[in-house]
Structure 1
Amino acid sequence: MSFQGEQHLGVQAPTADSEGFRLNHTMLRIKDPEKALAFYTRVFGMRVLRRLDFEEMQFSLYFLANLEEDTALPEDDSERTVWTFSQRGLLELTHNWGTEDQEGFAYHDGNAEPQGFGHICFSVPDLPSTEAWLDANQVEFVKRSDQGKLKDVVFVKDPDGYWIEVVEAARMAGKGA
């Protein structure tokens, strides 16, 4: 029998009605798309799959992903939109037009009071070299891998102040109970 997931209070067996459901993306609101896109594409190696503009409502959506080198994306915009919404693990950056020009404007990062949203997470092949890369790119650290009670876990901030956890999968063995 294949793994059915850990069992805890409240866990219920999926029904046929949810067959095929997949988490497609997580959305973060951004103040300045130029800064946010530079950060996620350069520092975290993501690529923009699709930009959708909604002129009447004055906002744009940018869908980003870490892709394998041999990933073939559809050239046609409509086909690439459908392809984008069929993927897993995407990051959607939402830009409400004009926020980049508003002095002092900032979105709530979810970690200040009242707490809510916490962070997104990237898994990397080598945590020490990634930590050096983040330093070289002047990324703001919340917590380094040798700090606090939870070692081998890094937290940094993106240009909008959202927290990003950075882990190396092999270093996570044995964490927690």
Structure 2
Amino acid sequence: MAFDTEHEPGMTAAPAPRTEGFRLNHCMLRIKAPERSLDFYSRVFGMRLLRKLDFPELEFSLYFLARLDPDEVVPEDRDERTRWTFSQRGILELTHNWGTEDQPDFSYHDGNEEPRGFGHICFAVPDLDDAVRWLDENRVPFVKRPEEGALKDVAFVTDPDGYWIEILEPARLGKLGNGA
């Protein structure tokens, strides 16, 4: 029998048939300055901007980014690319509320200070040591390096708005969390 789910209290035994086809498409972070965040995610993490959507009546813009595979084909037509974007997995949506970039003391809550809430996004990398060198070369601030703390082989850095980003190499994590 193929793996279906781990079983924990509260976990539904089987997905409802009407949820067939549901998938997590994107996660959203609010950003203060689009140019700064777009530079960070494209230069440091290799993400590409799939689609920008502006909402002048509501004074905000949405930027949908993804790390594309080299052979991935993205539609050229804007409407088709919008539909395609909303059918993918692993999309990062950056939301810019217009005017925040002009407010010197403005910042968003990163979720890791009190009151705690949102925690982080995560990038899996093929080589954690090389990724750490790359992040150092790009002067990305570390919250935790892989060799620090009780949880080894996992790093945390911050983006320009202070959101935490976990960096991990899947090959190193087979035994993670087996102590409980």
Q: What is the aligned length?
A: 177
Q: Which consecutive segments of 4 or more residues in structure 1 shift more than 6 A? A: none
Where in structure 2 are the equivalents of 1:1-177 lying within 5 Å? 1-12=1-12, 13-177=14-178
Q: What are structure 1's unaligned runs of at least 5 residues?
A: none
Q: Measure, in 2, the Cα distance between the counterparts of 1:101 and 1:133.
A: 31
Q: Measure, in 1, the Cα distance between the counterparts of 2:20 and 2:109.
A: 34
Cα RMSD after superposing both structures: 0.5
Q: CA deviation at 1:3?
A: 1.1
Q: Secondary structure at the match of 1:41?
A: helix
Q: CA deviation at 1:70?
A: 1.3
Query: What does the per-residue CA deviation read over 1:12-36, in whole Å, with 9 as the maximum and x for residues that have no partner?
Result: 0201110000000000000000000
Q: Measure, in 2, the Cα distance between the counterparts of 1:41 and 1:9.
A: 40
Q: CA deviation at 1:72?
A: 1.1
Q: Secondary structure at the match of 2:10?
A: coil
Query: What does the per-residue CA deviation read over 1:74-97, in whole Å, with 9 as the maximum and x for residues that have no partner?
Result: 111100000000000100000001
Q: What are structure 2's unaligned runs of at least 5 residues?
A: none
The letter of the residue matching 2:84 is: W
Normalising by structure 1, we get a TM-score of: 0.99
